Amino acid sequence: MLGQGFVSAAAIAASILFILSLGGLSNQEKAKRAVWYGIVGMAIAVLFTAFGPGIGSYWIMIPMVLIGSVIGWNIAKRVAMTEMPQLVAALHSFVGLAAVFVAWSADLERTRVASALLAGEATDRFSAFAALLVTKTPAELTFLQVEIVFAIFIGAVTFTGSVIAYGKLAGKVDGKSRQLPGGHMLNAAAAVLSLVMAIAYLNGAGFWSLLVLAALAFFIGYHLIMGIGGADMPVVVSMLNSYSGWAAAAIGFTLSNDLLIVTGALVGSSGAILSYIMCKAMNRNFVSVILGGFGGGAKGESAEIEGEQVAIDAGGVAAALNDAESVIIVPGYGMAVAQAQNSVRELTRKLRDAGKNVRFAIHPVAGRLPGHMNVLLAEAKVPYDIVMEMDEINDDFPNTDVVIVIGSNDIVNPAAQEDPNSPIAGMPVLEVWNAKQVFVSKRGQGTGYSGIENPLFFKENTRMFYGDAKSSIDSLVPLID
């Protein structure tokens, strides 16, 4: 058993490591070291909390930690990089559900302690949390109840919202915006009823009020995320990350755990900031995205697309690449699905060896997760200095000979600028159509994840390079000289 002084010192050390971890993740070159900061910080946090004062029941705690560690290790080893977004969403759901369970347990313990004190029972056999409750003033106990309410509401919304996000990212749930009849009014009604349940609980209603509150919050999480369209899913994942952090912080207050408060606040604030940055990059309204305002259809009839999609074979693409001096590659989720990042790396190597100026253009919401494409390219050991953000490279397209779009759709859609009635009108996109030639590697003629048609595919300087992205890129490599 460790003293409180050791636990407090460990909490400070872990908090510093978490801050260093978040700071390092903003830079690709420092990301691996930043991840290790987070791993070490979490190990310190778990170890010193588990062996801190007032903690017991090791006979059940240690086996559960070992079981969870083995499960986590196996999942991490088996999950492919292409499945990372849905894994992140699934992990968010665990945090939310844990917050709900801990809050329920805290209320049951609060009730048990109150009954024991009224009956005059001895308090020396109370748990650490129960002993803490005995020392609280009536005002502090009321504040504890407020914390329980927040933890249940935020945790329940996070749980079902993350489950639906997982389903959409994994293709198990339709990626389009879907809401029950009544739309936002149902969400508003559920929110009002949640407030009523919270007030009832704070005024003496029993445990049943917390169960109803959780059920209402479960519905809100489900309905909110179902109402958000596929093109906004990267923002949703980031937003749910923020929610899970605030749920953890609320539980930290409930358990009087300073480290959990700090960690939850770091996750919650960083997730919220990232969501805001991404919405700004997409020219979306943050509140509108959260409430499912995007993806439900355009304001009017979208412009008709004229022309036809013209296909090209590997020989034609390779000839254009051999003649080109500058090449920009735009990766999207199609590259992730086909696991083509290593093939792209090899093509990049061949082109650079041939003296071509090759760069990558990364849209802020490419893929299904913030930084998804950066992670895949880093895994394939593509040099960091040729991976450019949208703002850095958009002005270069007019001076580019060839652009290769690999599995991207919405982030290269000119309708965002040309069609005011498009559902993505006003969203900043990579202006690839300004290049001399554009080749789009795509499986078929279908629309993107958000279901929006792309006029780029019909432009005169665009050719469709149909097929699996990995096979298509592999077929180009031997033809580059």
Check: CB of residue 255 under 8 Å from CB of residue 183: no
CA distances from 271 to 181, 235, 275, 352 (A): 31, 9, 6, 37
The set of long-range contacts for 276-280, using a CB threshold of 8 Å and a minimum separation of 24, is: 277/364, 278/234, 278/235, 278/238, 278/364, 278/365, 278/370, 279/235
Cα 315 to Cα 465: distance, rounded to the nearest angstrom: 11
What is the token pair recorded at 34? Answer: 């930043």
CA distances (Å), origin 220, targets 180, 215, 377: 12, 9, 36
Q: In which element (H, E) is residue 223 found? A: helix 207-226
The rounded distance, in Å, linking the Cα atoms of 292 and 267 is 23
Helix 372-379 crosses helix 341-353 at what angle (to 10 degrees)?
A: 70
Cα three-residue angle 383-387-392, rounded to 5 degrees:
145
- Of 380, 375, 309, 311, the C-alpha closest to 341 is 380
Pull the structure tokens for residue 32: 């691996």
**What's the longest Cα–Cα distance across the chain?**
89
> Could you say which DSSP state residue 294 is in?
S
- Phi, psi at residue 326, to the nearest 5°? -125, 135
Residue 402, helix vs strand vs coil: strand
Residue burial 277-291, b: 16+ Cβ < 10 Å; e: rest: ebbebbebebeebbb
410 has catalytic annotation? yes
Strand 402-406 vs strand 437-442: parallel, antiparallel, or unpaired? Answer: parallel
| Active-site residue identified among 107, 232, 410, 419 | 410
Q: What is the DSSP string of 115-134?
A: HHHHTT--STT--HHHHHHH
- List residues with catalytic annotation: 410
